[in-house]
């Protein structure tokens, strides 16, 4: 390890014209007094949402413990089984119908990470509950430029009522800073890139730079050269890999913008959003990984699709709308199609797992130091059931969690019990959350 008498500050950034680039964790950031000690990277928290329930029989492993058999839906994540924990049997009962039979998707989406029954309204008097990701952001975000980052892949500009007297807001986000404060989710990777690396310069000038295919790193060349001379060989390699990743993300955003500009009449997409769904997903997950790596934020919430999603999935041979096919009516053909969508979503998530696992971070990888909660607010989507929820945890939370098992929870215990435990793993400690009754052992 290269250790200087004066350590490089963890929040070191390089500033160029219209850009700020934070650095990844380097050995040179370890104080001299800790020479010989291992670097202690930050812990990260993530939440990834999958809508419209899941084909439970194709998700839940038959065996509990570490020697469980990988199921069809989990197959795309098989190579990460030693860094993955599967949890089954939990429920989010605030999403039950009770006295309101209509609006099931809105109820379950609104209570997924808070365990609080949402208010039935189509107006501005929204009410849900502060979500686990925002409790994490309060603690983990104290030392980062962004407290949290909220991302999505589907358009979420719909306002008013969407279902059974409930506001569209309940399905457009699952992240709430307070009971009456839902957080919008950004779908445009160009906007996310600006939030992470922009320096508050004029938007028109920044867009002009993008169209000229200039990298934000071009204006930082001198500082980079000087910095690389002052750090050790391993840090120089880390910086090279990181800056290549930044350039790659920017190049893909630029290419998307160029296509949109040259084919404005044929591509009805907002500037910066790739036309191919998987390209969009991969780009957003790469931005999530970059946000973690640069310590711009340690908390990211990601909505793969929203409840009631009408997106079809020709990528896997499903021409019907996602929501429609989730009501399979127990028909084998429809069940197979819904299972294909669920499996495809896991494939998209495997891209993030791969990126985090291959990104060095201190004495391990970003995946080693993260806790990513993957799941949805329904088990059986055909029945709108917020019971037997599908849950996958990725990462080891910096050694606080030993992944690799299928945990079969006491059936119908609150999902919030698990959320409390997950927060504990990233050093965010709450007495209770929503309808929690204790902690879920994992």
Res. 390: pLDDT tops 80: yes
Q: What is the 3-state secondary structure (H, E, C) of the chain?
A: CCCCCCCCCCCCEEEECCEEEECCCCHHHCCHHHCCCCCCCCCEEEEEECCCCCCHHHCCCCCCECCCCCCCCCHHHHHHHHHEEEEECCECHHHCCCCCCCCHHHHHHHCCCCCCCCCCCCCCCCCCCCCHHHHHHHHHHHHCCCCCEEEECCCCCCCCEEECCEECHHHHCCCEEECCEECCCECCHHHHHHHHHECCCCHHHHHHHHHCCCCHHHHHHHHHHHHHHCCCHHHHHHHHHHHHHHHHHHHHHHHHHHHHHHCCCCCCCCCCCCCCHHHHHHHHHHHHHHHHHCCCCCEEEEECCCCCCCCCEHHHCECCCHHHHHCCCCCHHHHHHHHHHHHHHHHHHHHHHHHHHCCEECCEECCCCEEEEEECCCCCHHHCCCCCCCEEEECCHHHCCCCCCEEECCCCCEHHHHHHHHHHHCCCCCCCCCCCCCCCCC
**Domains of the chain: which residue ranges?**
41-187+273-425
- Look at 259 and 9; give whichever has higher pLDDT: 9
Identify which has the larger pLDDT, 102 or 297. Answer: 297
Mean pLDDT of all residues in 30-49: 71
pLDDT at 236: 74
Check whether 202 has a pLDDT greater than 60.
Answer: no
CATH number among 1.50.10, 1.10.287, 3.40.720, 3.40.1130, domain 41-187+273-425: 3.40.720
Tens-place pLDDT, residues 206-264: 455 545 445 666 666 666 667 777 777 777 777 777 777 777 777 766 665 554 444 33
Rounded to an integer, the average pLDDT of 144-172 is 91
């Amino acid at each position: 390890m290269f250790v200087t008498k004066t350590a490089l500050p963890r929040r070191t950034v390089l500033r160029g014209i219209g850009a700020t680039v934070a650095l990844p964790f380097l050995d040179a950031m370890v104080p001299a007094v800790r020479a010989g000690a291992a670097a202690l990277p930050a812990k990260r928290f993530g939440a990834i949402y999958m809508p419209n329930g899941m084909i439970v029989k194709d998700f839940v492993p038959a065996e509990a413990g570490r020697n469980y058999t990988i199921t069809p839906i989990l197959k795309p994540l098989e190579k990460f089984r030693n860094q993955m924990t599967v949890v089954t049997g939990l429920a989010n009962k605030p999403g039950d119908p009770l006295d309101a039979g209509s609006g099931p998707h809105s109820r379950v989406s609104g209570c997924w990470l808070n365990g609080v029954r949402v208010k039935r309204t189509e107006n501005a008097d929204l009410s849900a509950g502060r979500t686990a990701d925002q409790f994490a952001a309060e603690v983990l975000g104290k030392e980062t430029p962004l407290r949290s980052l909220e991302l999505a892949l589907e358009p979420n500009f719909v306002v008013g009522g969407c279902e059974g007297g409930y506001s569209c807001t309940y399905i457009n986000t699952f992240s709430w800073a307070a009971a009456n404060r839902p957080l919008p989710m950004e779908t445009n990777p160009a906007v996310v890139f600006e939030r992470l690396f922009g320096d508050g310069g004029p938007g028109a000038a920044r867009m002009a730079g993008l169209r000229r295919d200039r990298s934000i790193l071009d204006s930082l060349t001198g500082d980079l050269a000087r910095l690389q001379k002052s750090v050790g060989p391993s840090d120089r390699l880390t910086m090279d890999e990181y800056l290549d990743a930044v350039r790659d993300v920017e190049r893909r955003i630029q290419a998307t913008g160029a296509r949109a500009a040259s084919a404005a009449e044929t591509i009805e997409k907002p500037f910066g959003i790739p036309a191919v769904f998987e390209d969009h997903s991969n780009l957003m997950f790469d931005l999530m990984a970059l946000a973690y790596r640069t310590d711009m934020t340690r908390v990211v919430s990601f909505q793969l699709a929203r409840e009631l999603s009408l997106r079809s999935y020709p990528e896997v041979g499903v021409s019907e709308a996602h929501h429609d096919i989730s009501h399979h009516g127990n028909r084998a053909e429809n069940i197979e199609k819904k299972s294909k969508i669920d499996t495809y979503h896991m494939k998209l998530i495997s891209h993030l797992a791969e990126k985090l696992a291959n990104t060095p971070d201190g004495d391990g990888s970003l995946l080693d130091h993260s806790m990513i909660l993957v799941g949805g607010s329904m088990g059986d989507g055909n029945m709108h059931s917020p019971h037997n929820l599908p849950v996958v945890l990725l990462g080891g939370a910096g050694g606080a969690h030993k992944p690799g098992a299928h945990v079969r929870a006491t059936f119908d215990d609150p999902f919030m019990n698990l959320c409390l435990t997950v927060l504990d793993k990233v050093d965010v400690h709450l007495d209770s959350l929503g309808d929690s009754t204790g902690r879920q052992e994992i």
